[in-house]
Amino acid sequence: MSPVASETSLTIIEHAPIATWFGVGGGARRLATPGTVEQVRECVELDPSLRVLGDGANLLIDDQGVPELVLDTGQLNAVRWDERAGAVCAQAGASLPALIIEAVRRGLGGVEGLAGIPASVGGAAIMNAGGAFGEFADTVSCVHAIDRDGRDVVLGRGEIDFGYRHSGLNHLIVTSVELRLTPEDPLVLRERLKETMAYKKRTQPMAADSAGCVFKNPTLHQPIESVGDTGQRVSAGLLIDRAGCRGLHVGGAEVSHRHANFIITHEHARARDVIELMDMVARRVLDAFGVTLTPEVVLWRRQR
């Protein structure tokens, strides 16, 4: 791993590992860590097909790594608060969990239901991270980004196609997000945050290496007894469990006993193990229920 300075002050590291929450997978041939929006633009000029890395909490990277420039947003982490207006502007690499704690401390509500979701602000926007207690889109007022031609893009909430774990923003490089929060009693917010965390700890293998839910919850095209009716979005974890996949493993990857939609990785696991296990689980659910599962986890692999 050898740091080399490019012609500008942008730092690019060659043959860099990429840290993901799965703890498996290859690295980047070149990894850039821009500290300014101008440097993000320089990255786009260097490689318009670059890949963007947030906190790596929803990423599975092929064991061979990726040839494109990887832009790590970690250095773009400034957060500006306007407490009176209930507004916060956070750069893409800012930590969502840290932002949630600070919002609660300042008595600003709206994001406390996202507690326990590891993410950068940019990654949370791209994935529209969320769950039973709300989703990131609920508080977004505006997204600032750069397109693949290096142009600035500013999108108001109404211009963004947010949906379930979807933003339609994946072609852009999100540089910052403005949120609109609501003044509330910090004690009430703290209680809500604690309840959310307790729920997560009860139902998810929080201490294990994973990327959260690997599959999106599917919408049923036909009713399934004691699962749901046509048109209903149902728990992928429930289907995986009913298909007998809990505890299933390939190499160092295993379907979690605590939450069947989590694949956890053990020491010596490889990305290939996770990919094979995901294929196996999807096949069993298709065979058992005729339901096609779609990955929620983003897979980075070389174009073949």
User: Among all residues, which ones are annotated catalytic?
Assistant: 165, 213, 296
- Joined together, the tokens standing for residue 252 give 């160092």
For the CB of residue 290, give the shortest distance to ligand FAD in the complex, in Å: 26
- Residue 74 contacts ligand FAD per CB under 6 A: no
Of positions 33, 39, 58, 261, contacts ligand FAD by CB under 6 A: 58
Of positions 39, 210, 256, 265, contacts ligand FAD by CB under 6 A: 210
Of positions 126, 193, 224, 293, contacts ligand FAD by CB under 6 A: 126
For the CB of residue 165, give the shortest distance to ligand FAD in the complex, in Å: 6
For the CB of residue 251, give the shortest distance to ligand FAD in the complex, in Å: 19
Which of these ranges, 127-135, 156-164, 185-193, 231-239, lies near ligand FAD under the rule CB under 6 A? 127-135
- Segment 149-178, which members bind ligand FAD (CB under 6 A)? 165, 173-174
Which of these ranges, 97-105, 208-216, 229-237, 265-273, lies near ligand FAD under the rule CB under 6 A? 208-216
Are the beta carbons of 119 and 127 closer than 8 angstroms?
A: yes
Distance between CA atoms of 289 and 281, rounded to whole angstroms? 12
Residues contacting ligand FAD: total by CB under 6 A: 32
Distance between CA atoms of 152 and 94, rounded to whole angstroms? 20
Of positions 26, 34, 54, 107, contacts ligand FAD by CB under 6 A: 54
Which of these ranges, 123-131, 216-224, 253-261, 268-276, lies near ligand FAD under the rule CB under 6 A? 123-131
- Residue 55 contacts ligand FAD per CB under 6 A: yes
Give the list of residues 6+ apart from residue 112 with CB closer than 8 angstroms, or none.
100, 103, 104, 133, 189, 192, 193, 196
Distance between CA atoms of 268 and 171, rounded to whole angstroms? 33
Site string for ligand FAD, 128-147 (x = CB under 6 A): -xxx----------------
Of positions 66, 99, 127, 269, contacts ligand FAD by CB under 6 A: 127
Please say which residue, 6 or 77, places its beta carbon nearer to ligand FAD. Answer: 77
